[in-house]
Amino acid sequence: MMHINNLKKYYFINEFDYTHLINLNKNISFIWRNKDKETSIKTLIELRDFCKKNQRCFYISNDIKLARKLDADGVYISSSNKNLNLKTTTSKKKFRILGSAHNLKEIKIKELQKTEEIFLSPLFKKKTNQQLNIFRYLKLRATTKMNDISLGGINNKNLKKLNMIKPFGFAGISYFE
C-alpha cells in the first residue's frame, strides 16, 4: 500500500504566508502561481529565501527568465503555454522544468519543452467536461516517460483513489490549506 507521505508534493501558492508555510510538511515544494495580480519581486525573494533556509524547492509559474533571475529551483509551465523555444540555459545545475497537460497533444508539447515531470489534470475536480477520471489518467500517463503528478480536486476523501493510480506525486491548493 502506497503512503501519501512517500509521494512528491507540490503546493500552488499565490501569497507568502510564513506562519502557514512553516507548519507544512518539509517535503512539500512550492509553485508560485499568481494569476490575479502583479507579483512583488520582494515577496518572491522572501519566499525563495524561506525555501532555501528550510530546504524546500521553489518554482515560478510560466516565467523562466524570472525563475533564473531569482535563482529558483525551476519553472512550472502551464498547459496553455505552448512556446517551444524555451530558453532554459542557467548556471544552476539542477534547474528543473515542470509542466501540466490535459490531453495527449499537450503531453507531446511538454515533451518538446523538455519538462521533467508532467502534472496531469484535472483528475478529480469537476471542471466542465475535462475531468480525466482514473481510466483516462492512466491512459495518458502511459503515453510518456515523464514522472506523473496528479492534479485537480485531491482531498482527504479521494486519497484511496489516488492510491490506486500510484502516481509519482500530487499537487494542489486546497489540500494543503
CA distance 80 to 82: 6
pTM for this entry: 0.90
CA atoms within 13 A on the CB side of 39: 21
pLDDT at 53 > cutoff 80:
yes
**Where do the domains of the chain lie?**
4-176
CA distance 71 to 69: 6
CA atoms within 13 A on the CB side of 32: 28
Amino acid (1-letter code) at residue 75: V
11-21 pLDDT, tens digit per residue, is 999 999 999 99
The answer to whether residues 132 and 140 touch, using CB atoms and an 8 Å cutoff, is yes
In terms of CATH, what superfamily is 4-176? Aldolase class I (3.20.20.70)
Give the end-to-end CA distance of the chain in Å, rounded to a whole number. Answer: 25
143-170 pLDDT, tens digit per residue, is 999 999 999 888 888 888 888 889 999 9
Phi, psi of 93 (to 5 degrees): -65, -40
> All 3 cell numbers of residue 158?
479521494
